[in-house]
Amino acid sequence: MQTLDPRIPEEIRKRFYDLTAAQFEDQLKNDPDDVRTQSFAATFFARFQQYDKALLHYNKAIALSPTRQSTYLDLAMMYLSMGRYADAEATAKQAYDILPANTNAGLAYATTLIYQKKVDEASIITANLGDTAFDNRIVNAYGNGGYFTKVVELENEKIAKGLADGHDYFALAGGLASLGQKEQAIAAINKAVSLDGSLKDQGDQLIKQLNAGRPLTK
């Protein structure tokens, strides 16, 4: 049984899951056409990696309200977490087409495009997102796809705009290290620690990894 916080004891997680699942079942038995409850149930089951149940509720929510953008966005993110990138892209595009001006929709669609290796298309979308284009989900998508030059480019732009924090310097260090620029990566780590002293232990560990020739893992 999975939650967002694995530190919670298994027994408590299971009790919470069983109780909440039963509550959703009762609510939807009384009002199966409540699109909000269908959506909340879908998100709940997705959080616990009960993807078949989540998909059932997402599909019901979409059938009840085909233009409810948030449902498509949540479903796209579930597909992304499952590694179903083509489904994530298609669903995010449906959300984006409903209201392109919604930056959350543009962010989700661009992220799925990057995972699909459609970086040129993603760049067209992010060009209209303003500072949201520097969101960690975009940066992580580029990093996970091996586009380390793009990671460095985005983080440097974010730094130049005065929007970066210590974690952004860690992301910059990861991109630099992956490009073989060890000394620059260490400098970025040290900058992160200077901005946020609580990151010192993590920074020291990252530098040890670099000096040992290992890839950076946060």
| Domains of the chain (ranges, CATH numbers) | 146-218 (1.25.40)
**Ranges under pLDDT 50 in the chain:** 1
Q: Which residue has the tokens 């959703």?
A: 24
CA dihedral 119, 152, 104, 33 (to 10 degrees): 80
pTM of the model: 0.89
Burial grade of 52 (CB within 10 A; 0-12, 13-18, 19 or more): exposed
Could you give phi then psi for residue 145, rounded to 5 degrees? Answer: -90, 0
* Whole-angstrom distance, CA of residue 57 vs CA of residue 117: 29
pLDDT at 3: 54
The two three-digit tokens of residue 162, written as one number: 């005065």
pLDDT tens sequence across 78-89: 999 999 999 999
